[in-house]
Amino acid sequence: MPHEIKGLNEECGVFGVFDTKKANQLTYFGLHSLQHRGQEGAGIVSSDGTKLKQFRNKGLLAEVFANEADLDSLDGNAAIGHVRYATSGNDSINNLQPFLFNFYDDEVALAHNGNLINAKSLRRQLEKAGSVFHSNSDTEILIHLIRQKRDLDFIDALKASLNEVKGGFAFLLLQKDRLIAALDPNGFRPLCIGQLKNKAYVVASETCALDMIGAKFVRDVEPGELIIIDKDGLHIDNYTDDTKLAVCSMEYIYFARPDSIIHGVNVHTARKRMGRLLAKEQPVDADIVIGVPNSSLSAASGFAEEAGLPYEMGLIKSQYVARTFIQPTQELRERGVKLKLSAVRGVVEGKKVAIIDDSIVRGTTSKQIVKLLKEAGAKEVHMRIASPPLRFPCFYGIDISTRAELIAADHSVQEICELIGADSLGFLSTESLIKAIDIPSGRKVENGGLTVAYFDGKYPTPLYDYEADYLASLKQQEERNFLR
């Protein structure tokens, strides 16, 4: 499904490169392959060794750098870049990253993928001490924490600050003469290191960015690590030993690009295994299997192979739905006008269809898909979901904000099936999900090194500033369920 209609949104993608010609262009192409992680804004900061230069704006990367001169202006041999999902307010360019901070004695740029769960209390504490914030982003906190530690060396101040912030984070920092990367103690978000043929190092949210620019994969950044890249090369350090891998399972299920490899596991392959296991757990009496394009095609082909059913292209997704697109009015929608997905009548007519999707958030899209298929003549529509029911919010960098929106928070599988109008519905179990992803042993801890809290409510960290609201929402849900 296109990200915008799914109701699940990644927060960001980051990319950095150090010590190579055309650092600006490499960052641009690297960010391009991370565009699926954020479409609302983009920016790049480059260093020419003496000065940092910034350009950022709202829109897709290609819109932000519509004038090639703006990219050319970011000269120098190092750069970091950012693609961003969320924007708020009409002056939101303030919140676009990388941030660039000028001090009389330093310049620092900062890009962030994740979510800090003690940001509010840290900000209040800093403001009480006289700090002035300019964005609404939690990202800005890190630089204030660092600058408060004026008696320490920059790296020591950074390490101390990284121990103060909690939650999910993958930070890139650029100074005039070095590139720094840091990952949270649970490794919630993916972050990897690559190397170009000219020996320059690259850091990126996903390995697809390395492939895009012809860089070789070196290693994943591990939880608690601090990576420093300077003229002397790559330095691997860590700011804490208290780590436990709990990478976000939604990266494998939905967010990451199929060609990316996260902690040794290819995303497409994991999805295909989810589909296979789903076919075993939730078998279906169907004539054909179709996937919801594009994110569920891998799972659907796995399902079809395991079930021994033909895999067909029964839904077509428009390539040309721009954000400026005029939306059909309610009246036209009722008269049958659709936009993003079309059913292939020649494929589904008269058939019992197994339709595979990666997840169900609010259920509205699932309902539309069932309707689309039935209108195109499908005799039966059996929906199978290649992940467990989403019942709890994420606090580490995915936008599944409120429980009230999650259809599975308040409804049983049978109820959801009726609400979306399917003839049957089945979800993958959490155990099979973990088995399908199968992060190579050694790195595994509990839950196979994954965060599955969205399904079982067991978060790998305290919730800090979110604790009170979360408990209140659980209470409200109990009351809703009691009243029903």
List binders of its own copies among 209-248 (CB under 8 A).
Answer: 211-215
Of the residues 48, 73, 244, 421, which one makes contact with its own copies according to CB under 8 A: 73
Q: Which amino acid is at 224?
A: G
Of the residues 79, 183, 343, 437, which one makes contact with its own copies according to CB under 8 A: 343
DSSP for residue 149: -
The residue among 32 and 189 lying less far from its own copies, judged by its C-beta, is 32
Q: Tell me whether strands 216-220 and 201-204 are parallel, antiparallel or unpaired.
A: unpaired
Q: Which amino acid is at 3?
A: H
Return the SS3 of 9.
coil
Of the residues 68, 418, 456, 479, which one makes contact with its own copies according to CB under 8 A: 68
12 is catalytic: yes
- Scanning 331-339, 356-364, 393-401, 460-468 for contacts with its own copies by CB under 8 A, the matching segment is 331-339
Of the residues 233, 236, 280, 294, which one makes contact with its own copies according to CB under 8 A: 294
Q: How many CA atoms lie within 13 A of 414 on its CB side?
A: 0
Residue 153 interacts with its own copies (CB under 8 A)?
Answer: no
* 410 known member of a binding site: no
Name 418's Cβ contacts closer than 8 Å, sequence gap at least 6.
none
For the bound state, the minimum distance from the C-beta of residue 66 to its own copies, rounded and expressed in Å, comes to 5
By the 8 A CB rule, do 188 and 168 touch?
Answer: yes
Dihedral (C-alpha) 300, 305, 310, 314: value to the nearest 10 degrees?
10
The residue among 50 and 102 lying less far from its own copies, judged by its C-beta, is 102
* Active-site residue identified among 12, 208, 248, 394: 12
Of the residues 107, 154, 230, 258, which one makes contact with its own copies according to CB under 8 A: 258
Q: Tokens at residue 27, please? A: 């960052």
DSSP 69-127: HHHHTS-SSEEEEEEE----STTGGGG-SSEEEEETTEEEEEEEEEEETTHHHHHHHHH
How many residues belong to the site for its own copies (CB under 8 A)? 105
Of the residues 86, 93, 218, 413, which one makes contact with its own copies according to CB under 8 A: 93
Query: What CA–CA distance (Å, rounded) separates 183 from 227?
Result: 9
Q: Tell me whether strands 341-343 and 99-103 are parallel, antiparallel or unpaired.
A: unpaired
For the bound state, the minimum distance from the C-beta of residue 371 to its own copies, rounded and expressed in Å, comes to 12
Return the SS3 of 293.
coil
The residue among 141 and 409 lying less far from its own copies, judged by its C-beta, is 141
Residue 356 interacts with its own copies (CB under 8 A)?
Answer: no
CA dist 243 to 37, 188, 224, Å? Answer: 25, 11, 6
Query: Which 358-377 positions form the footprint of its own copies (CB under 8 A)?
Result: 376
The residue among 83 and 181 lying less far from its own copies, judged by its C-beta, is 83
Query: What CA–CA distance (Å, rounded) separates 376 from 365?
Result: 17
Closest alpha carbon to 273 in 390, 189, 387: 387
Closest alpha carbon to 114 in 261, 246, 269: 246
The residue among 347 and 420 lying less far from its own copies, judged by its C-beta, is 347
Name 3's Cβ contacts closer than 8 Å, sequence gap at least 6.
9, 10, 36, 39
For the bound state, the minimum distance from the C-beta of residue 238 to its own copies, rounded and expressed in Å, comes to 26
Residue 70 interacts with its own copies (CB under 8 A)?
Answer: yes
Q: Tokens at residue 362, please? A: 């609010």
Q: Tokens at residue 143, please? A: 């630089």
The residue among 355 and 417 lying less far from its own copies, judged by its C-beta, is 355
* 220 known member of a binding site: no
> Cβ–Cβ contacts within 10 Å for residue 298, how many?
24
Query: Which 431-460 positions form the footprint of its own copies (CB under 8 A)?
Result: none
Query: Which 385-424 positions form the footprint of its own copies (CB under 8 A)?
Result: none
| Helix 140-148 × helix 119-128 angle, to 10° | 40
Query: Which 160-219 positions form the footprint of its own copies (CB under 8 A)?
Result: 196-198, 208, 211-215
For the bound state, the minimum distance from the C-beta of residue 473 to its own copies, rounded and expressed in Å, comes to 23
Return the SS3 of 282.
coil
- Scanning 259-267, 278-286, 432-440, 470-478 for contacts with its own copies by CB under 8 A, the matching segment is 259-267
- Scanning 97-105, 228-236, 246-254, 393-401 for contacts with its own copies by CB under 8 A, the matching segment is 97-105
Site string for its own copies, 295-314 (x = CB under 8 A): --xx--x---x----xxxx-
Of the residues 77, 87, 243, 342, which one makes contact with its own copies according to CB under 8 A: 342
The residue among 132 and 483 lying less far from its own copies, judged by its C-beta, is 132
Query: Which 124-143 positions form the footprint of its own copies (CB under 8 A)?
Result: 124, 127-134, 136, 140, 143
Of the residues 101, 154, 464, 470, which one makes contact with its own copies according to CB under 8 A: 101
Query: Which 16-35 positions form the footprint of its own copies (CB under 8 A)?
Result: 22, 25-26, 28-29, 32-33, 35
Name 62's Cβ contacts closer than 8 Å, sequence gap at least 6.
32
Query: What CA–CA distance (Å, rounded) separates 312 from 309?
Result: 9
The residue among 48 and 410 lying less far from its own copies, judged by its C-beta, is 48
* 357 known member of a binding site: yes
Query: What CA–CA distance (Å, rounded) separates 268 from 356?
Result: 15
Annotated binding site: 295, 357-358
Catalytic residue numbers, as ranges: 12
What residues form the annotated binding site for Mg(2+)? 295, 357-358
